Amino acid sequence: MPERYAKITGWGKYVPKRILSNADLEKMVETSDEWIVSRTGIKERRIRSDDENASDLSVNSARKALDMAGVKPEELDLIIVACSSPDYLVPGVATIVQDKLGAKCGAFQLTSGCSGWVYALVVASQFIQAGTLNNILVVGTDVVSFGVDYEDRNTCVLFGDGSASVVLQPSAEPAGVLTYELGSDGSGAKSLYVPGAGSVMPIGRYAQKIVDERLGYLRMDGPEVFKFATRTLSSSMKRVMDKAGLLPEDIQLFIPHQANLRIIESAARMMRQPMEKFMVNLQKYGNTSAASVPLALVEALEEGRCKPGDKVVMCAFGAGLTWASAVVMLGAGEVSLGQSWFNMGRMAKRAVGAVQGAMNNVMLTLQFRKYDAARKKKAAK
Ligand code: UT7
């Protein structure tokens, strides 16, 4: 059987019209534009209107992707919607999206926090590569604002709402996901979670407690997630490039999860790559969870930051704790995986890079220890 790849043939995005700026947040909680910009890079985010739910945002971005790919909804073989903020707890949002689009295929929701869309892209690619399905819609949507406590300055300044979609179709030429890594560390589940929305605390029985103690909102241990994110972003991207036999120099654009500019800058430093090679649009949207990476991908394509034929590396991380990375070839082209392993010059460069990376990791660990000790000392006072 000839080799099949899962090529991205259409893409589209949708963000709600309403803008919530740092100046708006200054009126809601004790914060400042200066604090938010210097600690995160975020200037504003989009917030849904009351009648806009995850399914509406999804349909809006999906229609654009389908139009671009020239695929009618009824021609779809599968819809995957990565989402942690569905219209209802049950059913998953994907069936609602399927119905609103007028598609006739199977549909499921994939919940893996901010990593969800990269997980979904990898899952969808498997069906196409196996030759069992042809046209798959992969949506990343979150309306994080519904689960954010706008009295909690630790979280409310970070998140926003958005959606972005791609269509995957078979290609005989190398295209789409070339290599990937899916990761999970559930020991960190409570670093980023909603305490009162599942079976641990059924809402029907504990409604009063959940309201009184604000347990229905997202809780985050920011510094803990920050440490996990800085560790994960550069190391996971390196591993997927290694699997593909590629060096950072072979990659046209890095598309990281848009959680915090400092996390992205730290990855750029550790990978010894210029910031210009990293797509950043978090200043406009904040962290849109599962929509973050596809929204950055779509804007990068729209702005000409990457184009068909380019190889990009995506990496998302978040609740779970989870992470997901992939080397993706946009459009179709030629790759010979592993070839560069045999290039001695490159191997030498890789060895130097590995040593530099290890030294960076040691420096970062020492920095974090110092930071933790200072925090503990402060907490003990
Ligand atoms: O999709 C994955 C999701 N999440 C992430 O990737 C988030 C990862 N974490 C982060 O990005 C950072 O930890 C934050 C941006 C959330 C926080 O930055 P930080 O430098 O780690 O700050 P911190 O939590 O250690 O707080 C430092 C200080 C505290 O005050 P005290 O105790 O030193 O007096 C906080 O109360 O900053 C305070 N603070 C704020 N001040 C003004 C926390 N949030 C705010 C705020 N405005 N919005």
Query: Which tens digit of pLDDT belongs to each residue from 87-107?
Result: 999 999 999 999 999 999 999
Is 257 marked active-site? yes
Ligand 1 atom nearest the C-alpha of 40 is: 15
Ligand 1 atom nearest the C-alpha of 39 is: 15
Domain residue ranges in the chain: 5-177, 180-285+295-337, 343-381
Catalytic residue, from 83, 114, 306, 315: name it: 114
Percent of the chain topping pLDDT 70:
87
Work out the pLDDT band at 359, boundaries 50, 70, 90. Answer: low
Work out the pLDDT band at 66, boundaries 50, 70, 90. Answer: very high
pLDDT at 117 over 80: yes
Is 53 marked active-site? no
CATH 3.90.1170.50 fits 180-285+295-337, yes or no: no
DSSP assignments along 174-229, one per residue: SEEEEEEEEEE-GGGGGGEE-TTSSTTS-HHHHHHHHHHTTTTS-EE-HHHHHHHH
Residue ID of nearest Cα to ligand 1 atom 21: 223
Pocket of ligand 1 (CB under 6 A): 31, 35-36, 39-40, 114, 153-154, 157, 192, 222-223, 225-226, 229, 259-260, 287, 318
Catalytic residue, from 156, 257, 306, 315: name it: 257
5-177: what fold? Peroxisomal Thiolase; Chain A, domain 1 (3.40.47)
Catalytic residue, from 22, 60, 135, 287: name it: 287
Those residues with Cβ within 8 angstroms of residue 202's Cβ, 6 or more apart along the chain or in another chain: none
Same fold, 5-177 and 180-285+295-337: yes
Q: Give the pTM.
A: 0.88
Angle between helices 261-271 and 33-40 in degrees, nearest 10: 30
